Amino acid sequence: MSTPYPFTAVVGQTDLRLALLLNAVSPAVGGVLVRGEKGTAKSTAVRALSALLPQVDVVPGCRFSCAPAAPDPDCPDGPHGAGPGGARPARMVELPVGASEDRLVGALDIERALAEGVKAFEPGLLADAHRGILYVDEVNLLHDHLIDLLLDAAAMGASYVEREGVSVRHAARFLLVGTMNPEEGELRPQLLDRFGLTVEVAASREPAQRVEVVRRRLSYEDDPAGFAARWSGDESEVRARVVAARALLPQVRLGDTALLQIAATCAGFEVDGMRADIVMARTATALAAWAGRTAVLKEDVRQAALLALPHRRRRNPFDAPGLDEDKLDEILDRFPDEEPENDPDPEPDPGTDPEPGPDGGPENPQGPDDDGGPDGGGGVPPQGGGPQDEQPPAEPAEAPADSPEAPRQPSAQDGGPEQAAVRPAEPFRTKMLSVPGLGEGAAGRRSRARTAHGRTTGAQRPRGQLTKLHLAATVHAAAPHQKARGRAGRGLVIRKDDLRQATREGREGNLVLFVVDASGSMAARQRMSAVKGAVLSLLLDAYQRRDKVGLITFRGAAAQLALPPTSSVDAAAARLEKLPTGGRTPLGSGLLKAHEVLRIERLRDPSRRPLLVVVTDGRATSAGAVGGDPRELTARSARLLAAEGVASVVVDCESGPVRLGLAGALAADLGGPAVTLDGLRADSLAGLVKDVRTAVTTPASHITRRAA
């Protein structure tokens, strides 16, 4: 739709609106990372923000949006003389996930180079976004090297391009906004730190608010222009407030008490580095300007901490984000506020007392109090507490004994009652498991692969569009044909068939599919706690190596896909935490389920190679719905996976003085090695040597490993 959804018509999402508006007031805050589930209006709110930004004055004809009053002296289109400028709306530039490096930073203008013989620079998206918004949807799916370039430019306020004989520097100051769904994977901590603020969004659980979201969304779809017109007054008010806050910002005083509060907060939450202190100071200053004050108060510091620290505090990868607000208040209470001097009365926040809006719903001129944009969604209570606090859900009534929700009684086929879930043992650093051969999957840190970035290992004819030219190989291919082309001694003639593309080798991410035995035998001797700790360790390793993960469990009469393949290892860890045990062991069914999951994933993402990790003691006491001999079914299923070349490793969970060695037999059928729980540790040298020896002496082995 050509008419964007109004910013002030979004329902809920108080923190998201505030974070975006603070960056509009002070772009030096450093941008916003919006994290949340799908359908929560993340993209809608960001796209609507551009309409609230004031117009920018630009030098006519300048491709880099230089300001007439203070043009960039190093502008590639400069130098610009003094003169009147032209006003245009602030741009919102979207960076696609599949964008190339050339599209982001710019490159040599090939057309002018061939036609005119000059080295001309073609600007990229960073130049287009100067003095506007650069929006990256699904930023966690963007390649790491692009994120590095993006965040470096955002931090320095300039883009430096050194490539293909072109050396260019141009200003690149923009409001950086990234959105992501954590279920699709996380950003690296050092990249998270480069975003100024972060906001967690979720759909509202309040029926009345969800109804208002749907009502506004349907009204917008029926008549986008009319809907936007009904909210134009509120949009103008917020736009005027942004302009006023920008004008007031240089006058805001950040006193010593506020600085002590900021420093004590960052130290109390053990934040690494000094970027958090600087971002908190800028955010608190912007909050004061937004409230119409010239002095920073404790409430500004508190809100700044809730926005600037959750993604910077030290935490384990599987810990929930957010801050301990009681601890935050305890730190801030050590430093009383300074008395403001001649501070004007703060302007009341329009979002504190909602009035009925044009559509009959709650209205918040400060920014959308709503999540009802094209992405749907709902509101989330503000982190600092407020009127939207939700009531705790009522305890569900006990289901009738014959209903599907009633707890299922153990049957003879299950082999025993279900046992309560046990907590996993502490995770440890695991040895690196990798897939042999050379893949071509997504960039990661596990197995060897041909990648767009990495060390150059050779050259090949381009398949499709030429990317990285291998000059030496191209000249070598063209040299033998120069005499036949009639140009011997008079320069080198290169034809299309001579072009060679550089091949590079790096690391790829894999699909690590866990098949976990949750039967009654795994619960013996409290073994399941150690097993969960080992799987949690492997999940942590997968998180660090940027893999996709999936989780299959088997117990009782069947296997189930507990977690479809995803990039969110947090979700896998949560499922593992609640995993119950008990019943018989349908090991063959678990392997067949893995075969089916891998078949479907191969169709979805054929370039991502799988690594199957089977966690079991090797016992097979049930054939499940397939029927027949359980051990024979297990052997056939394992050989089926081996025949398709699936790289596998068996984590042998058998313990006690008497061991049957069934996991080792399973590993032989799978064509991969078996490793004990103790041997899985990276510091277990004996286990490492044993696994390497097994991998070398087993011809059908599909796994190689080295110390992480």
Catalytic residue list: 275
Q: What angle do CA 18, 184, 202 make, to 5 degrees?
A: 35
HSE-CB for 669 with a 13 A CA cutoff = 20
Q: Which of 321, 317, 272 is nearest to 541 (CA)?
A: 317
Q: State the Rg of the chain over Cα.
A: 30
Closest to 413 in 3D by CA, of 555, 587, 515: 555
Sequence-ordered list of residues with C-beta below 8 angstroms from that of 229, at least 6 positions apart, any chain? none
- Cα dihedral value 117, 118, 119, 121, nearest 10: -120
- Measure the CA angle with vertex 201, ends 199 and 207; round to 5°: 150
The DSSP code sequence of 478-536 is: HGGGTTTTT-TTS-----GGG--EEEEEEEE--EEEEEEE-SHHHHGGGHHHHHHHHHH
Query: What span, in angstroms and rounded, lies between the C-alpha atoms of 611 and 613?
Result: 6
Angle at 332 between CA 326 and CA 333, to 5 degrees: 85
Amino acid identity of 476? H
Rounded (10°) angle between helices 275-290 and 14-25: 90
Token pair for 262: 């900021």
CB 354 within 8 A of CB 11: no
Triad 69, 74, 78: Cα angle to 5°:
65
